[in-house]
Structure formats: C-alpha cells, structure tokens
C-alpha cells in the first residue's frame, strides 16, 4: 500500500488576531496591525490522521443541577499571590505567567510547585533546561517535595503520554514557546504552534481537572509573545512588570476569570527565591527624602490602595525648545497637566525643562494622580516643600477643576496607616465622614487652591480636621 505523503504549504498568519493569507502583507486587513504577519508552514494530513489528543466534552445540564464542589480554592503557599488571584488556585484552570527574561517566572512557578507537591502530584516540564539544571535551581530554592516529577521535553505528544501515566493534579509547561506538535509543520514558537499547543493543553485542563501553568516569553515591545488569541484562551494572565535589575518584582493579574483583575503582588528577589512583601506602600516610600518637587500620591491597584512618590524637577532650559521627560507616567497626561498649570494657575513653564519620575519602578495609570503631578511640578518650580508628609488625591480637568475619584475612604485609611498627617482631596467627593480620621483632610475645588494651600498653609503642627481654602487667584500666580 503506497504511503500517502501530506502536502505542505506556506501561509502568513497574523500574530494578533489569527488572520491568514497566502501572501505577505505589511498591514493585517482584519485587525489593522502593521508587521504582524508571520510565515507559517502548514501540513495538510489526511482526514483520518487529524485527531485531538484530548477530548473536552460534557452533557447538557440545568444550571441548578451543576455542582461547584470541585472548584475549591487551593493555596499557593504565598498569601499575597492567593489574595491577588482571588483566594487561591481553581482546579482545571489554565494560568499564563509572562515577563521579561530573568524576571523570576521560573523561580515563582517552581516555588508554587514545591508547595503544591507536598500534598499532590506535580509534573514540571522544562523545554529549556535539563533535569540536572532544574534540580540545581530547586536545591538553591530549598524545594523539598515527595511528589514532584521532572520532565525535560518539548514534544506535546510525549508530554501528554507522561501526563496520562503519572496522573498529576498540577502541570507546569516551561515554556509554551518551546512546546510543539509533531503533526504541525511550523517551527516551535510560531503563531500556529503556540495556538495549537495551548488549545490541546486547554482541553487537557478542562477534561481532566488539572491546573496548568504556562510560562510565556515576551517580545521586544514587552508584550506576550505569540498570538493575541493566547491571552483569550487561558483563564488567568499574570505578568511581571518590573525590570530584572531591581530587587523588587511587581506581579499583576491582567486577566482573571475566577477573581479580580488589575490586582498586584510585590515580591523581593533574593538568592533563596522570591519573598512576598505584605506592605508595598512602605517599601516604595522607605527611601523618600522630602523636598521640593516630591509629592505622595495614591493609586488603586485592584482593591488595594498603594502610596507612591512622584518626583518633579524644573530647571531653566538652555536651548530654544524645553525638554519634557517622563518616567512611569503617561507622557501626554503630563503635558496636559503642564498646560493646566500654565493657563489656570499662571506658572511660566514655557522656558523650563520638566522631568517627572515615579520612584520604585511602579507605573501610574490612574487619573487620580493628576493633582499630585501638578503639585509636584509647582513645588519644584516654586522651590517649596511640605514640612510634614501628606498625600494628594484628585483628577484634574482642563478647566483646572479637581474632580472626584473613587475609593476616597480606602485611600485615606492607607495614608493614615502609614502615618501621613494630611491629605488634599476633591471637595465635591468629600462627604465629611472621612474627617473622623486623625488625618487632616483638605478639600479643594481647583488646582490653584491645592497649590496655594500647599504653599502657604502647610505646617507640621497644629493642623485642623478640615482646612478652608481661601481665594488664591492672586497668590498662586506669584509662585
């Protein structure tokens, strides 16, 4: 009987949306992304040879008849990580962990697997390291688990065969870019291979009730490598945001079907692994040196308020065009705040170089830090600073008005817990109940009022519970 050789063809597939075409295009016609089409060699096997390695099927049931007893949360051994993902791991979930090289992805998952392996079977599959190399790293981290299995393999067919033999409750794939299907002709790490391997692992997790961890690489732009469909297929996406050179690592939940999103957990990298930091605000502010241009702001990361320091430096430019340099804050947002200070407050900043930075490596995306940025720039320009520590909270509109922000009470409680003595808040969002706290609350209506109070009324002693802000139309323009 003659052997039927499958023909192969080359197509170009978009890594963002999965659109395929027979020829290369500079712009994807479907999603509009530039330079997103990648070459992919496809094998066309006979209809009988194509099969799913794992089947995920279920019968039709009434919603009231479906039981959720098997969806109990399992602790990862790290309280901060459990809080971030909603209380622990859910059986049968698919978790994607991404981040820059050397950030600590393998270290974190290895520590979690070590804790889980004390009571359940864990299969750790490494496609980038040998078993000896993984064992050396495990000894350094102090991993001691009786049911911790190692496998160095990149073929998904072989991985699933060992999975059926061992029958673990947890599976770790390090990494998804090195895993490939033999029936698929494209190279490992291509768009097609990542998509097909993730689909097979998804069926495996849902049908067998196995919790699967996928470690993913990132592109030079910082995005997760592979098709955008990869993030839609998994249940949870955890991403490291900090730079590898820093000792502290910020892990953020970008997606979570079983818990809150945008939650963060802070870890400290040491020789013995990653150690959780229960009080991130104190870590970010421990090296703060109060002075001109330094302001404490509050931002909400999920359900947790976080206090960060915004620093601004204003100096006279020696060129015709002033420089604007911004780190960890949206550049265009800072330009808007500079324009508001010039037009509404009367500060002459058109001939000044302005530099804005957020210490600690954290990134500010919330609009509640607008007023803090304005006060930092005004403080640096006027060369004045507060005599006591306090927080500045509020969103700034183009008219110079200070708008309300959510969770004022939680932000004030966090400021009080860290020992701050005052807080500037939007007047429209101030209901009066926050004034029962020992912290001094200063409600303001405009940026001009906030800058005036910060310049004239700040004092380290004798602060009242609520401070009235006089008309500052003439005073603030003289800063």
State how far the Cα of 209 lies from the Cα of 169, in Å rounded to an integer.
7
Does the structure show a pLDDT above 60 at 479?
no
pLDDT at 461 > cutoff 50 = no
Residue 47 has pLDDT above 80, yes or no: no
Q: Name the pairing type of β-strands 294-301 and 390-392.
A: parallel
DSSP-assigned beta bridge partners for residue 292: none
- Does residue 434 carry a pLDDT above 80? no
Task: Check whether residue 255 and residue 291 sit in a common domain.
Answer: no
Q: Are residues 86 and 23 in the same domain?
A: no
CATH number at 84 reads 3.40.50.300
- Residue 81, token pair as written in the block: 């990580």
Residue 472 belongs to domain spanning: 283-478
Residue 146 has which token pair?
């009786």
Averaged over 166-174, what is the pLDDT? Answer: 94
- 269 and 292 belong to one structural domain: no
160 and 89 in a common domain: yes
Residue 195 contacts residue 230 (beta carbons within 8 Å)? yes
Residue 54 forms part of a structural domain: no
pLDDT at 76 over 60: yes
- Given the structure tokens 């980038």, which residue do they identify? 128
Check whether residue 328 and residue 246 sit in a common domain. Answer: no
Calpha distance 231→418 (Å, rounded): 37
Whether 371 and 426 map to the same domain: the answer is yes
Domain end residue (candidates: 226, 257, 278): 278
Residues recorded for the chain: 479
**Same domain, yes or no: 189 and 324:** no
Mean pLDDT across 148-166: 93
**What pLDDT was estimated at residue 108?**
95
Q: What's the whole-number mean pLDDT along residues 47-54? A: 46
Contact by Cβ (8 Å): 310, 373: yes
Q: In this predicted model, which residue has the larger pLDDT, 471 or 425?
A: 425
Of residues 103, 98, 121, 94, the one with CA closest to residue 206: 94
Per-residue pLDDT at 457: 65
Kindly state the average pLDDT of the residues 282-309.
89
The more confident residue out of 56 and 305 is: 305
Would the pLDDT of 216 be above 50? yes
Residue 1 lies in a domain: no
Mean pLDDT, rounded, for 419-441: 77
pLDDT of residue 39: 82
Contact 386, 455 (CB under 8 A): no
pLDDT at 151 exceeding the cut of 90: yes
Share of the chain above pLDDT 90, in %: 50
Q: Which pLDDT value is given to residue 19? A: 82
Q: Which residue has the higher pLDDT, 476 or 109?
A: 109
pLDDT in tens, 84-120: 999 999 999 999 999 888 889 999 999 999 999 988 9
Q: Are residues 238 and 365 in the same domain?
A: no
Asked if residue 269 and residue 357 are part of one domain, the reply reads no
How would DSSP label each residue in 58-127? -----GGG---GGG-EE--S-HHHHHHTTSSEETT-EEEEE-STTSSHHHHHHHHHHHHTTTS-EEEEES
Residues 278-294, mean pLDDT to the nearest whole number: 87
Of these ranges, 13-17, 32-36, 211-215, 244-248, the one predicted with the greatest mean pLDDT is 211-215
Residue 214 and residue 201: Cα distance in Å, rounded? 9
- Digit-coded pLDDT (tens) for 377-406: 999 999 988 777 899 999 999 999 999 999
Residue 466: the pLDDT is 40
Number of structural domains found in the chain: 3
| pLDDT average, residue stretch 133-146 | 89
326-364 residue pLDDT tens: 999 999 999 999 999 999 999 999 999 999 999 887 888
119/425: higher pLDDT: 425
Q: How far apart are CA 428 and CA 217, in angstroms?
A: 45
Q: What is the pLDDT of residue 167?
A: 92
Point out the domain boundary residue: 261, 278, 295: 278
Residue 127 belongs to a domain: yes
Does residue 450 form part of some domain?
A: yes
Residue 362 near residue 316 (C-beta atoms within 8 A): no
β-bridge partners, 325:
355
Containing 296, the helix (H) or strand (E) segment is strand 294-301
Alpha carbon 403 to its chain centroid, in Å, reads 26
Using a 10 angstrom Cβ sphere, with 0-12 exposed, 13-18 middle and 19 or more buried, the burial of residue 324 is: middle
State the average pLDDT for the chain: 84
Q: Are residues 19 and 163 in the same domain?
A: no
What is the pLDDT confidence band of residue 57, given thresholds at 50, 70 and 90?
Answer: low
First to last CA, the chain: 92
For residues 227 and 12, the answer to whether their CB atoms sit within 8 Å is no
Task: Kindly state whether residue 60 falls inside one of the protein's structural domains.
Answer: no
Is the pLDDT at 42 greater than 60? The verdict is yes
Residue 296 reports pLDDT greater than 90:
yes
CATH number at residue 309: 3.30.230.10
Asked whether residue 2 is domain-assigned, the answer is no
pLDDT of residue 166: 92
What single string gives the DSSP state of each residue in 392-458?
Answer: E--EE-TTSBEEP-S-HHHHHHHHHHTT--EEEEESTT--SGGGGSSSEEEEESBHHHHHHHHHHT-
**Domain-located, residue 307:** yes
Say whether both 267 and 315 belong to one domain. Answer: no
DSSP string, 214-261: EEE-B-TTSSBSS-THHHHHSSEEEEE-S-TTSSEEEEEEEEETTS-S
Across residues 276-302, what is the average pLDDT?
A: 88
To 5 degrees, how large is the angle CA 306–CA 308–CA 314? 155
Q: What is the pLDDT of residue 436?
A: 52
Is pLDDT at 163 greater than 70 in this prediction? yes
């Amino acid at each position: 009987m003659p052997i039927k050789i499958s023909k192969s063809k080359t197509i170009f597939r978009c890594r963002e949306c999965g659109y395929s075409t027979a020829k290369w295009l500079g712009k994807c016609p479907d999603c509009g992304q530039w330079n997103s089409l990648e070459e992919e060699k496809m094998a066309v096997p006979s209809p009988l040879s194509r099969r799913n390695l794992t089947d995920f099927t279920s019968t039709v049931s009434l919603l009231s008849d479906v039981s959720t007893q098997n969806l109990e949360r399992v602790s990862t051994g790290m309280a901060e990580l459990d809080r971030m993902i909603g209380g622990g791991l859910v059986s049968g979930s698919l978790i994607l962990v991404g981040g820059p090289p050397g950030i600590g992805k393998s270290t974190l998952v290895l520590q979690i697997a070590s804790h889980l392996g004390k009571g359940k079977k864990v299969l750790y599959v490494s496609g980038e390291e040998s078993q000896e190399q993984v064992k050396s790293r495990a000894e350094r981290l102090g991993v001691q688990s009786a049911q911790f299995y190692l496998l160095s393999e990149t073929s998904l067919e072989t991985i699933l065969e060992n999975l059926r033999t061992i029958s673990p409750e947890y599976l770790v794939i390090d990494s998804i870019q090195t895993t490939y299907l033999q029936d698929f002709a494209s190279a490992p790490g291509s768009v097609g291979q990542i998509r097909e391997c993730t689909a097979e692992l998804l069926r495996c997790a849902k049908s067998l009730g196995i919790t699967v961890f996928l470690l993913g690489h990132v592109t030079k732009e910082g995005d997760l490598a592979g098709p955008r469909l990869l993030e839609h297929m998994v249940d949870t996406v955890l991403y490291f945001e900090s730079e590898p050179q820093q000792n502290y690592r910020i892990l953020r939940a970008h997606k979570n079907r079983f818990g809150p999103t945008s939650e963060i957990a802070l870890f400290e990298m040491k020789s013995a692994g990653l150690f959780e930091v229960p009080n991130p605000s104190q870590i970010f502010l421990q090296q703060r040196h109060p002075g001109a241009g330094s302001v404490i702001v509050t931002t909400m990361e999920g359900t947790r308020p976080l206090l960060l320091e915004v620093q601004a430096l204003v100096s006279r430019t020696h060129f015709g065009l002033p420089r604007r340099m911004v780190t960890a804050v949206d550049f265009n947002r800072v330009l808007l705040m500079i324009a508001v200070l010039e037009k509404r407050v009367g500060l002459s900043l058109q001939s000044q170089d302005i530099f804005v930075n957020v210490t600690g490596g954290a990134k500010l995306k919330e609009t509640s830090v607008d007023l803090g940025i304005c006060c930092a720039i005004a403080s640096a320009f006027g060369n004045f600073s507060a005599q006591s520590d306090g927080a500045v909270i509020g969103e700034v509109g183009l008219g110079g008005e200070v708008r309300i922000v959510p969770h004022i009470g939680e932000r004030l409680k966090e400021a009080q817990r860290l020992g701050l003595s005052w807080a500037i808040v939007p007047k429209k969002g101030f209901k009066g109940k926050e004034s029962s706290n020992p912290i001094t609350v200063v409600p303001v209506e405009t940026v001009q009022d906030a800058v005036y109070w910060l310049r004239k009324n700040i004092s380290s002693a004798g602060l009242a519970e609520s401070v009235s802000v006089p008309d500052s139309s003439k005073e603030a323009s003289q800063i």
